[in-house]
Amino acid sequence: MINVAIEKKEELLNASELRHDILRDEWVIISQERDKKPNDFIDDDTKQKYDLELDVFADPEKTGQEKDVLIYRDENDEWTTRVFPNKFPAVNRDAVKNDLSEGPYQAITAVGSHEIVVTRDGRKTLALLEKNELAEVIDAYRERYIELMNGNNVGSISIFHNHGKRAGASIIHPHSQIISLPIAVPAVTREIQACRDYTQKTKSHLFEVIAEHELESGQRIVYTNDKFIVYCPFASSHAFQMRILPREPQPYFERISPEGEIFLADALSKSLKTLYNTLDNPDFNYYLRTAPCDGQAYDEYSYHIDVFPRTHVYAGFEFATDIEIVPMAPEKAAKSLRESIL
């Protein structure tokens, strides 16, 4: 049945499609009329040049960063990865949670932690790290997640990485961010609800069905290993978007094993390297979505990492409708990405 569906897709290759994202309950337009080649997405104007004199993370003590909350060292006692509080946090670490609501509007104090995860070489994007180096970054994510989730007033923890100006990175030195919040992140709660609705309707686990379908189809698969699959989502919101998904759904990222960290590092490394090769080091974001840390059960859900380059800018239609226009079908994007994996 899948092969028949693929053949029909090929017959309609030049037709634009409205595709529904079952996880976000949103629609996207895959615009074949605007179909582009990978080279069309390369933008040399956004490339940043590294300057050691301006690198505030090259020597954190010298530039007055706060004391590390976690640090990794090599056999020569040189630091390799370190985590410290953000000097300009988006949330209030030492504040007391208070109700700030007024009239019909709900508000509370933005209590939480905002930390920076930094790798040593400021010139070396994560796409160029070795697998074991990336595994160390993932281990730092897990260690800090567990520490923060056991604090007070923590409803969820967001882990993300921005690379390049178009992706929101104001500092060129590679760094990820970890922010804890006293609320559950709306994007995650929407995904959880979509998973629960699907389970209630079909008696199946949505992420299991997605993984099985993508592996059987193969047309959107970018890379696989024993523990994870990397694929371009059916209703991708960005050209060349990739999702890293555990083969066996697991709601809680913090429960990943040391072995799992290695396999996740392998999947993330392949994703970032093929993006780097295909689009010549594009600006990109990735984020980890995992179940809230509120002690409740989320068996219908699974953590995952979404990786997407900044290939287009929102315009009036997107803002007016919340429907993205994507100028490359995920099937074609996956094919180009597969061809660039080394």
Local confidence band at 157 (pLDDT 50, 70, 90 cut-offs): very high
pLDDT at 48: 75
Closest C-alpha to 163, from 133, 131, 134, 122: 122
128-143 pLDDT per residue, tens: 999 999 999 999 999 9
Distance, in Å, from the CA atom of 33 to the CA atom of 52, rounded to the nearest integer, reads 44
Residue 335 confidence (pLDDT) above 60: yes
Can you give the pTM of this predicted structure? 0.92
Task: Give the mean pLDDT of 323-334.
Answer: 92
Report the range of poorest mean pLDDT among 13-27, 108-122, 183-197, 210-224. Answer: 13-27
CA 16 to chain centroid, in Å, comes to: 27
Local confidence band at 3 (pLDDT 50, 70, 90 cut-offs): low
164-210 pLDDT per residue, tens: 999 999 899 999 999 999 999 999 999 999 999 999 999 999 999 99
Tokens (6 digits) for 25: 């309950």
Q: Are 157 and 117 in contact (CB under 8 A)?
A: no
CB atoms within 10 A of CB 231: 27
pLDDT at 82: 98
79-120 pLDDT per residue, tens: 999 999 999 999 988 888 889 899 999 998 999 999 999 999
> Residues 332, 37, 126, CA angle at the centre, nearest 5°?
80
The per-residue pLDDT of the chain, averaged, comes to 91
Between 14 and 102, residue with greater pLDDT:
102
The structural domains of the chain, ordered by start, are 2-45+187-339 (3.30.428.10), 50-181 (3.30.428.10)
Say whether 172 sits in a helix, a strand or coil.
coil
Query: Is residue 157 within a helix (H) or strand (E), and if so which, with residue range?
Result: strand 156-163
Bridge partners for 335 per DSSP: none
Residue 207, C-beta contacts closer than 8 angstroms, at least 6 positions apart: 195, 245, 246, 249, 301, 302, 304
208-217 in b/e burial notation, b at 16+ Cβ within 10 A?
Answer: eebbeebeeb
Between 301 and 316, residue with greater pLDDT:
301
Closest C-alpha to 300, from 201, 158, 214: 201
173 phi and psi angles, rounded to 5 deg: -60, 125
Dump the DSSP string for 56-120. TTTSTTTTTPPPPSEEEE-TTS-EEEEEEE-SS-SSBSSPPP-B--BTTB--B--B--EEEEEES
Residue 215 confidence (pLDDT) above 90: yes
Q: Are 298 and 163 in contact (CB under 8 A)?
A: no
Q: In what order do the strands lie in the sheet with 284-289?
A: 70-73, 79-85, 114-119, 175-181, 156-163, 284-289, 304-309, 242-246, 228-231, 221-224
pLDDT at 322: 87
pLDDT at 5: 55
The two beta strands, 26-30 and 114-119, are unpaired
The two beta strands, 324-326 and 26-30, are parallel
